[in-house]
Amino acid sequence: MKKILAVLAMMTLPIVAHATVRVVTTLPDLADFARQIGGDKVTVDHIVRGDQNPHFVEVKPSYMMKLKSADVFLMIGMELEMWAPQIIDGSRNARLDVVNLSKSIHKLEVPDKVDASQGDVHRYGNPHYWLDPRNIRAIVNEIVASLIKSSPADEQFFRTNAEAFLKKLDTKITEWEDAMRPLKGAKLITFHKSWSYFAAWLGLDVVDQVEPKPGIQPSPGHTAQLIQKVRAGNIKAIVVEPFYDASAPQQIARSTSATVLRLPTSVGGVDEARDYISMMDYNIRTLVEALK
Ligand SMILES: [Zn+2]
């Protein structure tokens, strides 16, 4: 009998010791961070694909099902994911820990008052802060805190993994800054206002956007103005995410000497962007090649 009990205890023990934290994120980039920190103590799923516009995601019942069984939901906030409240409500998961990662971020382009002047999708300021890698430390710290809340016994494990990841990231940040230093002040046009934090970090000059306002479709009048601007300003590149229609940028490029660059803003946006670090590697490499 004792022997049977001992065997039973051994069979149940691993399940008790491995209280896996179930994490769902909006962006695949956040899923990457959660995996780096959580290792085998977490399961991680994400909602937005890297080749999808994170502002406009069609709400599906399967997203609510993902949240129904989750412990932690990680989101960028600042209304990037305007569709998120609907899936949170729809999940009917009262114990879900919803973590808005923007809390301690120094935010750019925050309007004095919330109105439509920033377009339809940046009403609370620019939410694309994850493209400045120096903001990842704050994101990681929030994720560590939320994982500890769900699994206090694994605190040291999460902290050790987070530090190892941030150390690796710091080395890459220095490498990226060194590669981009000769391009300081380089002028760019971007399709959407996704690159403000990235440009502020590297000292790039984003002159204008192909969208007249964030979330608003390109117009012939605005495109014609941009052609003049690109000619007058010797602007070499038009940066477009893989999910936007490139016909207006290509029209500008045909009338000027600028090149259209397809740069991902999230993991999976291009094949080379397997995780956050390889995505940034790809973006820096492509810009250096195009702007040198
Ligand atoms: Zn945006």
Distance 159 CA to ligand 1 centre (A): 31
Residue 137: band (very low, low, confident or very high) from pLDDT cuts 50, 70, 90: very high
Residue that finishes a domain, picked among 119, 151, 174: 174
Distance 21 CA to ligand 1 centre (A): 30
Per-residue tokens: 169: 């990231």
Expressed in percent and rounded to 5, the helix, strand and coil fractions of the chain are 50, 15, 35
Instruction: Tell whether 201 is covered by a domain.
Output: yes
> What's the structural domain count of the chain?
2
**Co-location of 167 and 191 in the same domain:** no
Task: Kindly report, residue by residue over 13-64, the tens digit of the pLDDT.
Answer: 544 455 799 999 999 999 999 999 999 999 999 999 999 999 999 999 999 9
Distance CA 53, CA 34 (A): 21
Distance 33 CA to ligand 1 centre (A): 21
Distance 199 CA to ligand 1 centre (A): 14
**Co-location of 133 and 220 in the same domain:** no
How large a percentage of the chain has pLDDT more than 90?
A: 88
Distance 77 CA to ligand 1 centre (A): 11
**Co-location of 170 and 186 in the same domain:** no
**Co-location of 148 and 130 in the same domain:** yes
**Co-location of 101 and 167 in the same domain:** yes
**Co-location of 209 and 115 in the same domain:** no
Q: Collapse the DSSP code of 268 into the 3-class scheme (helix H, G, I; strand E, B; otherwise coil) and give the result.
A: coil
Print the domain residue range for 202: 181-291
Distance 7 CA to ligand 1 centre (A): 56
Distance 24 CA to ligand 1 centre (A): 21
Q: How many alpha carbons lie under 13 Å from residue 127 in its C-beta half-sphere?
A: 23
Residue that finishes a domain, picked among 150, 174, 198: 174
Instruction: Tell whether 27 is covered by a domain.
Output: yes
DSSP structure class, residue 97: E
Please provide the average confidence, as pLDDT, over all residues in the chain. 94
Instruction: Identify the CATH number of the domain in which residue 239 sits.
Output: 3.40.50.1980
DSSP structure class, residue 121: S
Distance 126 CA to ligand 1 centre (A): 7
Range with the poorest average pLDDT among 50-64, 107-121, 141-155, 243-257: 107-121
Distance 31 CA to ligand 1 centre (A): 19
Task: Kindly report, residue by residue over 224-283, the tens digit of the pLDDT.
Answer: 999 999 999 989 999 999 999 999 999 999 999 999 999 999 999 999 999 999 999 999
